[in-house]
């Protein structure tokens, strides 16, 4: 399962990727709104947004893209690795 993570802390990027790899997922991390933001999201199986560590504009773009492509979207306020693990667990069981 390919997952795109939007937001989070730059220093935890490798921990996010390792946690996803433990669950058997490949993870793409986008930490902030960039010039090619919509292109970098790609076409994942799920989108996770850490809402407390990302701009309102990036959140709005991610929600719009996920809804338009019918991609499952998970909005989490916490940006910890354990929150990501819980979300991946619930996403893979659904």
| Domain ranges for the chain | 2-93
**Predicted model pTM:** 0.90
What pLDDT score was predicted for residue 37? 81
Measured in residues, the chain has a length of 94
2-93 under CATH 1.20.1530.20, yes or no: no
Dump pLDDT digits (tens) for 42-86.
889 999 999 988 889 989 999 999 999 999 999 999 889 999 999
Joined together, the tokens standing for residue 54 give 């990302």
Dump strand ranges (E) for 23-90. 26-30, 46-50, 73-76
């Amino acid at each position: 399962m390919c997952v795109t993570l939007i937001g989070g802390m730059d220093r935890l990027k490798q921990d996010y990727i390792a946690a996803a790899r433990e669950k058997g997922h490949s993870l793409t991390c986008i930490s902030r709104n960039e010039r090619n933001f919509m292109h970098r999201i790609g076409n994942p199986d799920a989108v996770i947004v850490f809402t407390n560590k990302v701009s309102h504009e990036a959140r709005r773009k991610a929600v719009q893209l996920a809804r338009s492509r019918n991609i499952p979207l998970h909005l989490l306020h916490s940006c910890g690795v354990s929150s990501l693990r819980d979300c991946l667990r619930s996403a893979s069981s659904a």
